[in-house]
Amino acid sequence: MTREERNEFIETLYAEYYETLRKYCFSRLGFDSSAKDNVEDCIQAVFEVAVRRADSLIHSPNLGGWLMQTCVYVINDMLRAINKRRTHVTTSIDADEFLQSNAVITEDIINHWVEKNATSSKLNTVLSNLSIKDEEIFHRHFIDGLTLRQIAHDMNISLSSVKATIHRIRKRLKDSDHTITN
């Protein structure tokens, strides 16, 4: 197969199956704003595999089935990776113990504590001293998973204001013997 034929084949596949794959990915990954990037990453990964296997795929009697099965594998891998990042703090470790260990606290760890209803008196102390606006920004970013740009748009404030607020929150947590990373 020539490069031109391969490109034409992939373009045809993309035009015919993109929307079907997109809908399936959203149904598996969720319809919230944070899932959009994962959906696009998933579709891109599926078509990367299709490009690598174009020579054999062109003779496949069931292109749609092959693409969907590849999509299932990609999504399962993606969900495993997301879950692995979320659970790298074991549930046997108390949030206060973890904070006292001077370990790095990532957004995934904060989300893990929220999901497992774990409480941290130190974390709660810092959060209780936030203004209503700062608390809302914290919640939208760390708990709802919104990007800083989305928060700025939704709250009708500048992106630099949102960045400064997140920086202040991280500083307060760090000053309380915590380290927050990007």
**Which has more pLDDT, 148 or 83?**
148
Q: Is 144 exposed, middle or buried (0-12, 13-18, 19+ CB in 10 A)?
A: middle
* 25-35: average pLDDT: 77
Pick the range with the lowest mean pLDDT from 5-9, 11-15, 112-116, 157-161: 112-116
* Structure confidence at residue 120 (pLDDT): 54
Predicted confidence band of residue 133 (pLDDT cuts 50, 70, 90) = confident
pTM given for the model:
0.47
What percentage of the chain carries pLDDT values higher than 70? 69
What's residue 164's pLDDT?
92
Tell me how far CA of residue 171 lies from CA of 106, 174, 180, in angstroms: 14, 5, 8
For domain 95-180, the question of CATH label 3.90.1200.10 is answered with no
The domains of the chain are located at 3-86, 95-180
What dihedral angle (degrees, nearest 10) is formed by the CA atoms of 75, 79, 85, 88? -140
**For residue 135, what pLDDT is reported?**
80
Q: What is the dihedral of CA 143, 144, 150, 155, to 10 degrees?
A: -80
Choose between 146 and 57: higher pLDDT.
57
Per-residue pLDDT, averaged over 30-44, amounts to 81
pLDDT of residue 121: 57
End-to-end, the C-alpha distance of the chain in Å comes to 45
Tell me the average pLDDT of the chain.
76
Domain range 3-86, its CATH number among 1.20.120, 1.10.1740, 3.30.1490, 1.10.260: 1.10.1740
pLDDT at 13: 92
- pLDDT more than 90, % of the chain: 21
Structure tokens belonging to residue 20? 């079907």
